[in-house]
Structure 1
Amino acid sequence: MFVVIFQAILTVPEDEYLQTASQLRELALNDYGCLKFVAMTEGDQELALSWWADEESIRHWKQASDHLMAQQLGRERWYSSYSVEVGKITRKYAFPEDTA
Structure 2
Amino acid sequence: MFVVIFRAKARDLDAEYSAMAAQMRQLALTQFGCLDFTAVTEGDQEIALSYWPDEASIRAWKQHTDHLIAQKLGRERWYASYSVEIAEVTRRYRHPADAQT
Normalised by the shorter chain, which TM-score bucket?
A: over 0.9
Runs of 4+ in 1 over 6 A off after TM superposition: none
Q: Give the unaligned 5+ runs of structure 1.
A: none
1:27 match:
27
Q: Partner amino acid for 2:27?
A: L
Matched, 1:69 2:95: no
TM-score of the pair, normalised by structure 2: 0.95
Aligned residue pairs total: 99
Q: Partner amino acid for 1:36?
A: D
Instruction: Give the aligned CA root-mean-square deviation in angstroms.
Output: 1.1
2:88 match:
88
- Distance in 1 between residues matched to 2:58 and 2:31, nearest whole Å: 12
Q: Give the unaligned 5+ runs of structure 2.
A: none
Q: CA deviation at 1:13?
A: 1.1
Deviations 1:15-39 (A, max 9, x none): 1100000000000000011000000
Percent identical among aligned pairs is 61
- Distance in 1 between residues matched to 2:61 and 2:12, nearest whole Å: 26
- Distance in 2 between residues matched to 1:97 and 1:12, nearest whole Å: 39
- Distance in 2 between residues matched to 1:59 and 1:31, nearest whole Å: 13
- Distance in 2 between residues matched to 1:92 and 1:14, nearest whole Å: 35
Q: CA deviation at 1:93?
A: 1.3
- Distance in 1 between residues matched to 2:81 and 2:13, nearest whole Å: 14
Q: Partner amino acid for 2:62?
A: K
What secondary structure sits across from 1:75 in the alignment? helix
